[in-house]
Amino acid sequence: MYHQAALHTMVVSCDGIIEDISSVLWKTVLDSHSTTVIYPPDNSLSFLGILTLCLHAALFQLYRPVGVRVMLVGVDIWSYRDQIVVSTNPELTLGRFLEWRQRNLLPRTKHDNAQFITGVDFDGSTVGLANTNAMCTSNSGAVNEDHNTNPIGVASTIAHEMGHNLGLSHDAENCVCGSLISKKGCIMAESVGLVYPQMFSSCSQEQLSRFLEEVNPACLLDIPSTNRIHGGPVCGNAFLEPGEECDCGTLEECKNPCCNATTCKLKAGAQCAEGQCCQNCQLKPTGSICRPKTGDCDLPEYCTGFSASCPTDAYTQNGLPCNYGKGYCYNGQCPSRQEHCKRLWGPDACFYLHGNCRKSLFSQRCLSRDQSCGTLFCSGGWEFPVTSRKLFYKVGNGDICNEATMNPEDNYPADLGMVPTGTKCGNNMVCYDQRCQDIKNLKAYGTNDCSAKCNNHGVCNHESKCHCDPGWAQPFCDVQQSELPKGIVHVMLVDPHIDALIVSVCVAASLYFNPLFRSSSTRGSPRLGTTHISQPTFVESSATQACKPLSSPARPHAAALKPSRAAPEVSFHFDLTATAPGCCSHTETNIASVTFIII
């Protein structure tokens, strides 16, 4: 039976801009399953566009103080029919959405995180659900109920659920929000009151720093190109876009002495506004180091004298000796059994021995030459590994050998408990595909003579390109940068996200089945769900000594991808309760693109 809803006037306030959408006519249909169906008028798509920009603006402002920049790279509006079955059970809906994201959304829109917004009233008190530590994994996303006519309410829920994706848990009683000690009013509080949260607590900031350092979600370092940003260039969003020489945010928040916040142009006499090669609005001299090497397998980067940005982070060619000859470089790291034990079982763990060459649920006996590339057994450390599952064995002398195991439903790679890929297993031999193989037979390893083309002024990097010494120019390090032709004027456009984490977000919206706006609800306490944490990456090296930490281990080219210890973790639900409102910075880092999904 068809029902015609009354005429409404929608007023959306977004960052000082108020839009009146009058005479919005919603035609609703109640089908045999009591599912409310919405047929929006033509101008409702424009209204949703405004709403989406409001949500993004609010989310951007919530994450800016902690050095995370949320960039909107896509909006999916389901105006004809839902692409998944949207259940009142948030766990079912989350699972279906993440499957749809993997199958449908990611192949056509590159992003780091996807947020689904629905008008369906989730069961109980839940208004949002997300997996923990899931950023940059297949489970990087959340589902959110549109529980309030004010977009800020939904933005708060999205910020909360994205926080769980970034490894944040609910605030405890002793977490500091602003000048008060309270778990209410902060973004990661278990519930919010009538005043929506605007800050991350001290606990959340510490957890975020730990997540970025230990898990090192690599997708957040991938800065989206300006043509992927949804909504077009906007001066004042702190993101450098076409037509801008700089962008330091709004007039109120801009503290950059080199940039005109009103015009997004450099001030008179300024060569640059920010960047690792920009100092006091001037470019640093050629050869100034802007990114030191962090280990045997990393390469330092130097300012060119022509750009305010530090050159792309590069690391050595695979196969170079590292850690005093105990290993070979692989993807910027020096993998070892010793270091991998520490990442699985904590800093006090040590390598003990290796076992079968299992690659699945079944064990496969190693060939004699491959025994050093099998299952990794460790001693000491935490009671449980980061996977929260283990097998242990007692050996003849009474020592305990621990093996990290995985639940098939979790997001860990099947070989996480094996000796890491790239670990040294002999002279010019490395573990690859759980076999001890000759480096010269592996395509992942470069040729020994690659650096010959660099004219003794550089070495080959991981892309088999010359990485030149200070003052020498690519591609072959045969010309000094001071001898390069110079134009009359050098205007340096600086990407302000070089030192910030960027989250690219994709949003999907369904207009067909569920009411877009609902009156505010009261919600109770959270429920527990399943556990998911982001996949750690291997730190590969060659140490084989048992139960003794390396005296000077090589560090990877980026922060070690060491997963945080996970006593069994849970999925979090974000609940809204009618409680009294409470109140709620680390160095900027770039976050991944986010896709909003609105239904």
Query: Residue written as tokens 């069994």?
Result: 568
Q: Which residue has the tokens 């896709």?
A: 595
Q: Domain map of the chain by residue range?
A: 31-219+501-533+569-598, 321-441
* pTM, 2 dp: 0.56
What's the pLDDT tens digit per position in 499-540?
446 666 666 544 333 322 222 333 333 333 333 332 222 222
Q: Pick the catalytic residue from 19, 99, 145, 161.
A: 161
Res 491 pLDDT > 70: no
Q: Determine which of 33-42, 446-455, 484-493 has the lowest per-residue pLDDT on average.
A: 33-42
Give phi and psi for 73, each to the nearest 5.
-115, 0
- Each residue of 147-188: pLDDT tens digit? 877 778 888 899 999 999 999 999 988 888 876 555 457 899
Q: Mean pLDDT in the chain?
A: 69
Q: What count of Cα atoms within 13 Å lies in the side-chain half-sphere of residue 423?
A: 29
The annotation places the binding site for Zn(2+) at 160, 164, 170
For domain 31-219+501-533+569-598, the CATH class is alpha beta
d(CA 481, CA 479) in angstroms, rounded, equals 6
Residue 276 makes CB contacts below 8 A (sequence gap 6+) with: 290, 291, 303, 308, 309, 310, 498, 499
φ, ψ (nearest 5 deg) of residue 401: -105, 125
pLDDT of residue 282: 96
Share of the chain above pLDDT 90, in %: 21
Cα gap 252→112, rounded to integer Å: 30
Unique residue bearing structure tokens 């909504």: 231
Q: How far is CA 453 from CA 115, 315, 442, 460, in A?
A: 48, 17, 22, 9
- Helices 151-165, 43-63: inter-axial angle, 10-degree rounding: 50
Q: Which residue has the tokens 């309270």?
A: 182
Is 420 in contact with 327 (CB distance < 8 Å)? no
**Weakest mean pLDDT among 411-415, 494-498, 499-503:** 494-498
CA separation for the pair 571, 529 (Å, rounded): 5
Let me know how long the chain is: 599
pLDDT tens string 247-287 = 998 888 899 999 999 999 999 999 999 999 999 999 999 88
In the chain the first and final C-alpha atoms are separated, in Å, by 22
> Average of pLDDT values for 101-114?
90
Binding residues: 160, 164, 170
Q: Are strands 17-24 and 8-14 parallel, antiparallel or unpaired?
A: antiparallel
Q: Is residue 252 annotated as a catalytic residue, yes or no?
A: no
